[in-house]
Amino acid sequence: MKIAIKNANIITMDKNMTQIENGYIIIENDKIAKIGDMQDYQEEVVEEEIDANGDILMPGMVNTHTHISMIPFRSLGDDCKDRLRRFLFPLEMECMTEELVYKSAKYAICELLLSGVTTIVDMYYFESEVARAVDELGIRAVLGETVIDFATCDSDKAYGGLEYGEKFIKRWIDNERITPFIAPHAPNTNNTEALIKSNEISKKYNVPISMHISEMDYELKHFREKYDKTPIEYLESIGVLSERLIAAHTIFLTDNDIELIKKYNVKIAHCIGANTKSAKGICPVSKLVEKDIIVGLGTDGPSSGNTLDLITQFKLFANFHKYINKDRSVFPASSILRLGTIEGAKVINKEKEIGSIEVGKKADLVIVDTKSVNMFPMFDVYSVLVYSANASNIKTVFVDGKCLVKDRKFTNIDFDKIREDLIDEMREFKIKAKDKEKEILE
């Protein structure tokens, strides 16, 4: 299929940050076939023509860390201390089923697409059900089964995710839009043997490995007392640091940690919204980028930051990092937008396929409405996207050359049915969640 998008303000996010204020692109099947200025446009025979009418055309955004099937937990116990162990872990064990994971994932994918996110990195339980939802709804995804040191909703034994995860990788490794990976939960929720085994699986199938690292203060205390090391130093000592590792959060990093991350080309998924909401801290991104360490943006789960869109993260990133650096000029808007697009693609080693608008790359594209009240005036397109825009400004979304959202409406997804199906599936969960909330508050 051949599609033309005309009269667009194109921000390519390529290495030269090329911008075409009145441009066009031609999509052929799943790839970008042509890019140019409208003054050079020559009419072509296409199946569909879209007039952007001056709206922004940008690459689809890449959410480098999330747990999308945690939609049912959103707004539950938000202000509770130790929420992870008091609310999340117990309710996951009691309530999460294959069907609830599947239906929650479908709902979350709708939210992601409507906000212009076209690629996600997700780790959770029953990850085969997440993959089923991804496969059906058309988003691009890097998906991993959680490995953890206790029995879970999808395993009756500790570290059951190792066996599940390897089978999952074998099942999805040749899929065009789905990249499987292995996902040990964290260094402190896995023993050394499980971490080494996870890394061996990652190496064997040449897939990513991702985990939460240096996120919790008690995590740091554990490794300091037991090994006299930071979590990063411990992972190096057991051979787990590598270019395949995506480290989520990394709030508490020493200078030596940063040197090790650089040495092994570890990638970072920075979750500014979730980390600041939980009052844990802020990853020292300025120190990381000074070392040319690759950093992308993530939302964490919808229960952690309460949203799955990256546009919210852009503003939060700007506000917090400018503040902690005491410098308004650090991280200009264009650099923040890169974190959510091409740098995110680098985190998952897919910068040759996605993350920027270039001929030959996948047609993962977003049109942003510039006629909305909050988008005027537009002196600087990057500033408008980072400081002024919100998720509702996303107008049209392509993934793999297919238009999944057009004029803010899904082209092939019945969102009302997805929502109703999830409401029905959540009935028992809501009862148990309210009981748990009452128990904790008492």
Residue 90's pLDDT is 87
Q: For residue 138, which of 348, 405, 399, 410 has the smallest C-alpha distance?
A: 399
- pLDDT band of residue 442 (cuts 50, 70, 90) is low
Decide if pLDDT at 440 tops 80: no
CA angle 16, 17, 20 (to 5 degrees): 115
Name residues whose C-beta falls within 8 Å of residue 398's C-beta, 6 or more positions apart in sequence.
Answer: 27, 60, 118, 363, 364, 365, 366, 404
d(CA 12, CA 35): 10
Decide if pLDDT at 441 tops 70: no
Residue 119's pLDDT is 98
d(CA 339, CA 337): 5
Decide if pLDDT at 219 tops 70: yes
Residue 87's pLDDT is 80
341-354 mean pLDDT: 98
Q: Where are the domains of the chain?
A: 2-59+364-410, 61-347
Q: Model-level pTM?
A: 0.97
Q: For residue 78, which of 68, 69, 88 has the smallest C-alpha distance?
A: 88
């009862």: which residue's tokens? Answer: 431
Tens of pLDDT, residue by residue over 261-283, are 999 999 999 999 999 999 999 99
Residue 86's pLDDT is 80
Percentage with pLDDT > 90 across the chain: 93
- pLDDT band of residue 88 (cuts 50, 70, 90) is confident
Tens of pLDDT, residue by residue over 307-326, are 999 999 999 999 999 999 99
Residue 437's pLDDT is 78
Half-sphere exposure of 328 (CA within 13 A, CB side): 0
Residue 337's pLDDT is 98
Tens of pLDDT, residue by residue over 116-173, are 999 999 999 999 999 999 999 999 999 999 999 999 999 999 999 999 999 999 999 9
d(CA 309, CA 278): 18
Decide if pLDDT at 47 tops 70: yes
Task: Please state which of the ranges 36-40, 77-81, 167-171, 227-231 shows the lowest mean pLDDT.
Answer: 77-81
Which homologous superfamily does the CATH classification assign to the domain defined by 2-59+364-410?
Urease, subunit C, domain 1 (2.30.40.10)
Burial of 364 (0-12, 13-18, 19+ CB in 10 A): buried
Residue 8's pLDDT is 98
d(CA 173, CA 157): 25
Judge contact between 201 and 190, C-beta under 8 A.
no
Judge contact between 56 and 375, C-beta under 8 A.
no
d(CA 154, CA 326): 46
Q: What would the CATH number be for the domain defined by 61-347?
A: 3.20.20.140
Q: Which residues on neighbouring strands pair with residue 27, listed in sequence order?
A: 3, 32
Residue 82's pLDDT is 77
